[in-house]
Amino acid sequence: MILGPVSYLDCLVFCAFLAPQLIIHVGIIDTVLVVLQCLPFLLIKLPFTFLRERYLVRYEKQSPFIQKASPFEDFVIRCVRYAFANIPPRVGRVFFSRPVALPFLRFRMLRHGYLRSPVHWHEYNDKRFKGIWMIKDPLAKPDICIFYAHGGGFSMGSAYFYLEFLLTWLSLLSDSGYQNPAVFALDYTLVPDGCFPTQLEEAIAGYEHVLTAVRDPSRICVSGDSAGATIVLSLLLHLANMSRHLEKMDSTGARRLAKPGMVVLISPWVTLVSDKHQNTTSDYLDAGNLHQYAHQYAGGCVSVHDPLLSPGKCRDVSWWKNATPSKGIFVAYGAEEVFAPEVKSLVKFFEDNDIKVHSREEKGGIHAWPVACLFLSSSLADRQKGLKSLVEEIRDNVR
């Protein structure tokens, strides 16, 4: 199922779904205060800076992202940049929540002629984990499965907000030759409802469930974007640590879990707190807020520099070699994003130590663009470009 680009009508409908949820979960007074806070930006700063930086500044002086972005992409990213820096997470999380994202997807499906999803999917609400299982044919065994953890700074986002992106990914996997692709989207606990290691424990439980369903670990590709990619890397390090301490597991009754076949990371937040995190003129992330989210995720009980919490801090070669799947790690990121320096550093560490890794840096790219462009870009080719590159990597390695 591949829907068309987001329209202005879609934006209006999204706001119609959003408004009552903000009132319910944030409160009418706080919602009004947030709207009033945003008005100077929306009415004055946004149109002024948009027109000046896009049409009055010479091309060579524009930011790398503006140089390649359409007006709609540029406009929306400016709004996202403001929201990320100024809107409290307890408000932001409502934007991505199930009560907003799910009816919005159903509206978009209806607008494109789908009364119901052409792909089977259902929700899991286990005591140990929650998520959404998607599969082309629910009666057959999957020949490829994506285990996905969403981004959102650990405090925002949901599997439901990513549902259209993941259903599109599933469709492209099917088009590439897989007979029965599947996706499991982990809907982990958000901060402050839970902090580390809650999210890792849920990822372990969800991954164990996927292993049981797929049966062949070489057919599993674990993936995630941003904070979700952090959780995925933590999961890999955990699995490797279990393998290196089998005698300890035997005494505690813990169970060894097989490694997946491959890893695909989108704009991974590899190191939670780093001096290399610097705001750029193109990206919408804010380094100061990111570090605040990192400390909240750690919860005061674990150091933000703990390698299991912040995988980029791990420089133990043998640990990483035990953690890396046989088909390796693929990393896609934007050259202009806040995380780029730390991503490059980890990739170089892998390369220098013969750890199987392949990366693609998008020139002028910003954070998690393969996800964002599916909704913001206008042409079908541009919208699918990022996802198709991921599918090609998977297809080349998992046969």
- Per-residue pLDDT, averaged over 336-362, amounts to 97
Same domain flag for 331 and 377: yes
Question: Across-strand partners of 234?
Answer: none
Give residue 248's pLDDT: 43
92 token code pair: 């932001």
256 near 151, Cβ under 8 Å? no
Same domain flag for 233 and 340: yes
The pLDDT of residue 243 is above 80? no
The pLDDT of residue 281 is above 60? yes
- Per-residue pLDDT, averaged over 127-144, amounts to 95
CA–CA distances in Å: residue 43 to residues 37, 46, 79, 80:
11, 7, 12, 15
Pairing type for strands 120-125 and 130-135 reads antiparallel
Distance separating alpha carbons of residues 114 and 121, to the nearest angstrom? 15
Please state the φ and ψ torsions of residue 296, each to the nearest 5 degrees.
-65, -35
- Determine which of 110-119, 238-247, 344-353 has the lowest per-residue pLDDT on average: 238-247
Domain that holds residue 55: 8-93
10 Å Cβ neighbour count for 33?
Answer: 13
Please state the φ and ψ torsions of residue 122, each to the nearest 5 degrees.
-150, 160
Give residue 2's pLDDT: 87
pTM of this structure: 0.94
- Per-residue pLDDT, averaged over 183-212, amounts to 96
Task: Give the count of domains, the chain.
Answer: 2
**Residue 127's CATH number:** 3.40.50.1820
Of 47, 62, 93, the position where a domain reaches its end is 93
- Per-residue pLDDT, averaged over 378-389, amounts to 92
Give residue 286's pLDDT: 96
Residue 360: burial class (beta carbons within 10 Å; 0-12, 13-18, 19+):
middle
Question: Quick one: pLDDT band at residue 247, thresholds 50, 70, 90?
Answer: very low
Cα dihedral 340/270/187/388 (nearest 10):
40
The pLDDT of residue 23 is above 50? yes
Of 44, 62, 93, the position where a domain reaches its end is 93
Distance separating alpha carbons of residues 6 and 108, to the nearest angstrom? 8
Q: Is residue 105 part of a domain?
A: no
Name which residue leads in pLDDT, 300 or 390: 390
Q: Is residue 107 part of a domain?
A: no
Q: Is residue 183 part of a domain?
A: yes
pLDDT digits (tens, 9 = 90+) for 296-342: 999 987 899 999 999 999 999 999 999 999 999 999 999 999 999 99
